[in-house]
Structure 1
Amino acid sequence: MGRLERYVLIRTLGGVLAALAVIGTVIVLVQFVDLSRQVGVRADVGAPEIIWLTFLRVPSVIQVLLPFVFLFGGIGAYVGLNRRSELVAMRAAGVSAWRFILPFGAAAFVAGVLTVTALNPLAAAMNAQFEATRARLMENYLGDTPKDIWLRQGDDKNQIVIHAKSRDTVGGTVRLRGVSLFVYQKNRAGTPEFKRRLEAAEARLQPGFWQLTDVREATAGESSVRSDSLSIRSTLDAESAMERFASPDAIAFWRLPDAIRLTEQAGFSGAAYQLRFHQLLATPVLFAAMAVLAAAFSLRLARLGGLAGLAGAGVALGFVIFFFNQFAGALARADILPLFAGAWGPPVVALLSGLTLLCYTEDG
């Protein structure tokens, strides 16, 4: 990469950082106001707690808006170069636009990889802490009643449905109260058959098993049996159990394969987790597409006029791609589109559209 390409790359990355600073500031302000309205109604919750909740929440929101950061930052940088006639001078000297566009596209692709492998797990961990902290601050506020908890675990032989009245986490250990366990065993045809039911005052998730306290066990056709404690084998760990309470978007990238496997073992459909996994894999392509689109809508010669309108059209197209991506994901979750098409279709279409427009603009 020559000096010219490095210069343009530095300018475009500077534009991306400026866009990130602006969007990040807006997100912080919006989240602070929203949390002040939601959590600040508690008399015992002060500004430090709200600021801490805002800090925990912001990475998850920024992760969603990062494609716009590359689009807005790229458009701003290229429009600035164009209005200063720097792009005109480069192209008049015989420098192809591909020479200073491809490095930015490659940088956006690398940033997408880092977002998926590093930022996404960090944002998921901070979002989990955000949910736990907010729940603690809002506990029993205005007479809120706890919601029932439902879990399901299983393997090739058994399926267990778990119902609890409430849950909490003590020292990293998941604790359920008012627990009912419905144990099913698969017959030779693979159909689950009900075998027994267990009622327990409390259940703690230990490595490899549930530790039940004050247990009453009932088997079909037999009288119930009481015991002070009982251990039941579990295929869940503390992290995967907590993930059952979260949406697929809140699960870290590296945890999604295990979440898919455990969900399917428990007899549920893992389609939502598979869709999220493919969407994360397609994130670098989406970032590169936004970088290419930013260049495609900013290379028109300033002296010809209409540059601002074209850049505005690029911004509008970015919003169209965002909603198209969300719409395709909704169709995939509803089994109307294949999961692969719902996750990879919008980024690939956006990238091909940008490359086509660049070919038309640059090569005629």
Structure 2
Amino acid sequence: MQLDFFPSRTLTLYLAKLFVMRIIAMLAVLVLVLMALDLLGSTGKILAVEGNGSPELWKYVSLRIPQLISRFLPYSVLLATLITLVTLNQNSEVIAMKASGLSAHQVLAPLLLTALIVAGLSFAFNESFVTKANAALKAWEGADYGLIPEEEGTRTNVYLTDGANIMTAATLSGSGNDITMTGVTWYSRAPNGMLSEQITAETATFADPGWRLDDAERFNVAAADSSVAGTLVVGQGLTLAQIELDSVDADGLGFFELSRSIDAYEAAGRRTSELRAKWWHKLAGPLSAFLMPLLGAVAAFGLARSGQLFVRAVIGMALGFAYFVVDNAALAMGSFGGYPPSLAAWGPFLLFLFIGESVLIRTEE
């Protein structure tokens, strides 16, 4: 019986139903509260643009909600785990299950299976909706919530390098020879590495070679003097291939699209640590929902009348939130090259998997 993790179909469906309802409730509460708080800070910026009104606010909500669902679904699973297990413990249902011969693993098995299904749905939701919402919202924010180019593949906050020189753009749209950048700034450096001049322009188009800036303005750093430069061609070392590589946004690409972009980076001899870490995290992130029942399991066992149930719930919550802190820190270290990308994405997951399993085995003993 100990090796049969689902000895009772009725009990499995009962626990899974309880768990799913609480996950949905917790997720709805978190998304509604966080969306309301987000709107308090963003409404002024959106409505400050002439012509924006209620439709733009609803557009912002429609783009933000998928992001909030994706980010806080694991938190919802953690909170749902604690509420479910504490309720079962208080009602002596855990004692009844243990008395019938079920082990701690068998009690948790329906919750773990449900969490695994939730993780799979989360991955599919991220691929279908969240990546598109990320790309659209970043493009809109890059245009200061105003009109953005209609072309597909619009990117924002573009940063390009041509040797020691740097070009930045608020948005980049189009492909091939039809690429257009807006809100462009060109930083030219002297041979000693110091900034020599800054050139700004509303738009930049491909000049083959280089990029043509129309109605440009030049600022000479040494003379602290501004002048009208008219039409200029800069960045002759910036090729279309480099533009395509440097404009990759890991948050706006799906798992397989990002994989192809990483392959292109590696073929060009470019550094891929940050992209590779985020690529791995597209799997490890949703799978973190599977850990939550294991980390919150400490709240299920132990007598409720002992007065330590609240302490156990706090310990379970602390373990869950510790995972998210370590996960974010490891991902940041992986992006900067401090950790190998696979370790940055999977290290926290495996560490807390062992911690949760150790706590569960200790509880069962």
Same fold (TM over 0.5): yes
Secondary structure at 2:206's aligned position in 1? strand
In 2: Cα distance, 1:174 partner to 1:30 partner? 37
Q: Which runs of 5+ in 1 are unaligned?
A: 141-146, 154-158, 181-199, 215-231
> Mapping of 1:172-211 within 5 angstroms?
174-176=179-181, 202-203=205-206
Residues 4-13 or 276-285, more deviating: 276-285
RMSD: 3.8
Structure 2 Cα separation of the partners of residues 166 and 46 of structure 1: 23
User: Matches of 2:70 and 2:55 in 1, distance apart?
Assistant: 24
Q: TM-score under structure 2 normalisation?
A: 0.72
Relative distance call for 1:299 and 1:14 in structure 2 (3 A) is farther
Name the CA distance, whole Å, in 1 between partners of 2:67 and 2:318: 23
Match of 2:101, SS? coil
Deviations 1:1-48 (A, max 9, x none): 411122111111211111111111112212221211432333532233
Matches within 5 A, 1:1-364: 1=6, 2-136=9-143, 138-139=145-146, 149-151=158-160, 163=167, 167-169=171-173, 174-176=179-181, 202-203=205-206, 235=241, 243-244=247-248, 246=249, 248-362=250-364, 364=365
Please give the per-residue CA displacement for 1:141-167, whole angstroms capped at 9, x wherever unaligned.
xxxxxx9854589xxxxx9x9957664
Residues 290 and 318 in structure 1, CA contact (< 8 A), matched pair in contact too? yes
**Equivalent residue of 1:335, what SS?**
coil
1:69 Cα deviation from its structure 2 partner: 1.1
Structure 2 SS opposite 1:354: helix
Partner SS state of residue 339, structure 2: coil
**Secondary structure of residue in 2 paired with 1:176:** strand
After TM superposition, give the deviation of residue 345 of structure 1 in Å: 1.0
* In 2: Cα distance, 1:294 partner to 1:236 partner: 47
Q: Which amino acid aligns with 1:88?
A: I
Residue 45 of structure 1: SS of its match in structure 2?
coil
Tell me which moved more, 328-337 or 304-313: 328-337
Aligned-residue sequence identity (percent) comes to 24
Q: Could you say what secondary structure the match of 2:47 adopts?
A: coil
Any unmatched runs of 5+ in structure 2? 1-5, 148-155, 187-202, 214-237
Change (3 A) 1:121 1:275: farther
CA drift of 1:132 comes to: 2.4
The alpha-carbon distance between structure 1 residues 167 and 119, as it changes in their structure 2 partners (threshold 3 A), is: closer
Superposed displacement of residue 77, structure 1: 1.0
